Amino acid sequence: MRARTKFVLGAGLISVSVGYLMASGIKDTGVYFVTPTELAEKVKADPSIQDVGVRMGARVVSGSISRDLAGQTIAFEVTDGQQTYPVVYRGIAPDTFDDDVDVVVEGRLMPDGTFRATTLLAKCGSRYEARPAA
């Protein structure tokens, strides 16, 4: 086999391997979530969804955040503009977690309609600015 042929085959093998690793990495890190309205529709169609873990993406309702520092529990509401769910999360919230921020919560919807989150991800702003003076 000629050296050029070996080089082309080797480069092709490396390219295919790198492409596969990139595609599988993107697939594993991509996060799909349902909106509160989609979750409400799924619960209406199949109430057993409450026994399954789910990711929900929404916006934190302004003024709804309540923190219990001793128990590291945070209660707040999320909405997509049509449906609102109360969320309870136990743990340390991200620094960017605040009113009117987009969040993705992962957990279970309880029978009483409260979403018990085990993971809380807050969207990072595309740029940081100083808060306006009061």
Torsion of CA 92, 95, 96, 102, to 10 degrees: -10
Fold of 36-122: OB fold (Dihydrolipoamide Acetyltransferase, E2P) (2.40.50)
pLDDT of residue 134: 62
**Tens digits of residue pLDDT in 74-103:** 999 999 999 999 999 999 888 888 888 999
pLDDT of residue 52: 82
Mean local confidence (pLDDT), 37-66: 89
Beta strands in 40-123 (DSSP E): 54-60, 66-68, 73-79, 84-90, 102-109, 115-122
**Tens digits of residue pLDDT in 6-46:** 888 989 999 999 988 888 777 655 657 899 999 999 888 88
